[in-house]
Amino acid sequence: MFEKYYRFNKVAGLNIEVDKDGNASYSACLLSITGNQLALDQKITGLNDINELKKHIPAKTIIAVNLVGKGVLIKQTASITSEDELNFASILPNAQERDFYTQLFNSGDKLFVSFIRQQEADKWIAQLKNLDFIPVVFSLGPFVIGQVINQLNIYGQEIVFDNHVIQRDEQLNWITYQYSLSASSAYPFKLENEQIDEALLLPYAAAFQLALYPNIDLIRANHVTLSDQLQKRSDGIKLKVQSATVLVCFFVLLLGNFLLFSYYNSANLKLAGQVGQSVKLANNAESLADSLKAKQQLLAAIGWEGKVDKSIMIDQIAQLLPAEVNWQQVAVDPLGPNPDHGVSQDVFASRQIRINGTSARIIPVNEWIARLKTKSWVKNVQLQSYYFNNELNTGQFVVAINY
């Protein structure tokens, strides 16, 4: 219910590409999230100085960092189900696992393992912190693009963009990856309906997965410090949302108590007045007749229908209910507001049973309506509304039965 409020409201994605001479280039984007809407606020490409990022990205921004090029080693092996199955020594002989950050990317029966020396990675993290940014996710290679491929106009098995070449099989599982300085897309990329520079695909993908956290599995290296930082900030957001929810609940409870007290106090005063009036009317036959008539009118207004056994009707309705249809609420002679000459009056839908419920499909509801019409006491059955609720993953309906 509150998952969308647990997300960060503004995040940045940064891609750092290091060439063979050790020179780095930077591309970044800034995303903002409002409710279920995600907006691409900033697009930055072609930077050669990391300090230039301060001109485009506000201080204290949460950043997801992706690193490609020199220093990033990518190996391919058979797929595994957990990190515990990874045999580091067989992939990097004569190397110490504690000296590297590792990232795993499973695709079909292939596993792509990315490595970077911790000293090299921590150098970039330290620079970003010195610029007053807050890095919380660190990923390697092109694999983070897997989070946004479905949003892009990519229809074939080969993906070529910004020095990266990815080959996929017919099931769109990754087969091979190659880093090539001459690789560039032959056509412009579109992010849904918006054109996007191929140099922005990786920073956008990095920012996108961070924006959806914790509702998405992150593609990231095993940087414990950053993972702890991310979890700490995510938990902080949850705590704020939950605290605000508790305060609202207390406020609603207090307000409800006040309204209930006011209602009963008003009802008590009104009842006292009615009792006094009844005593006066006791000595006047005409007044008693008027009172009786008024009460009869009141009974008619609230839907009193004599000896009609509504419980039997409801039982019969329930007996005809298909297995796929669920009740949530049943109202007999339901109450509804009715504007009359500028004055809102409470009126009841006379001789009507209204049922609210859920059904994943409308066909069982129509079948149920057809069954109801076979009852002799049923005058009319109307499906007042049916719509599919994506949050509940089922359809919701309202059926009115006149008798």
Q: Measure the CA–CA gap between 378 and 372, rounded to whole angstroms.
A: 7
Higher pLDDT, 84 or 392: 392
In the chain, what are the domain boundaries? 3-222, 305-402
Helices assigned H by DSSP within 31-98: 88-91
Cα angle 325-330-335, degrees, rounded to a multiple of 5: 140
Higher pLDDT, 242 or 45: 45
Checking if the pLDDT of 203 tops 80, the result is: yes
In the structure, what pLDDT confidence band is assigned to residue 236 with cuts at 50, 70 and 90? Answer: confident
189 residue type, one letter: F
Model confidence, pTM: 0.61
Residue 282's pLDDT is what?
62
pLDDT tens-place string over residues 316-330: 999 999 999 999 999
38 residue type, one letter: L
Q: Measure the CA–CA gap between 199 and 25, rounded to whole angstroms.
A: 10
Higher pLDDT, 266 or 248: 266
Residue 85's pLDDT is what?
79
In the structure, what pLDDT confidence band is assigned to residue 293 with cuts at 50, 70 and 90? Answer: confident
Residue 3's pLDDT is what?
58
Identify which of 26, 62, 54 has the alpha carbon closest to the alpha carbon of residue 232: 62
Looking at domain 305-402, does it have CATH number 3.30.1360.100? yes
In the structure, what pLDDT confidence band is assigned to residue 279 with cuts at 50, 70 and 90? Answer: low
Residues 245-266, mean pLDDT to the nearest whole number: 80
**Omega before residue 93 within 30° of 0, cis:** no
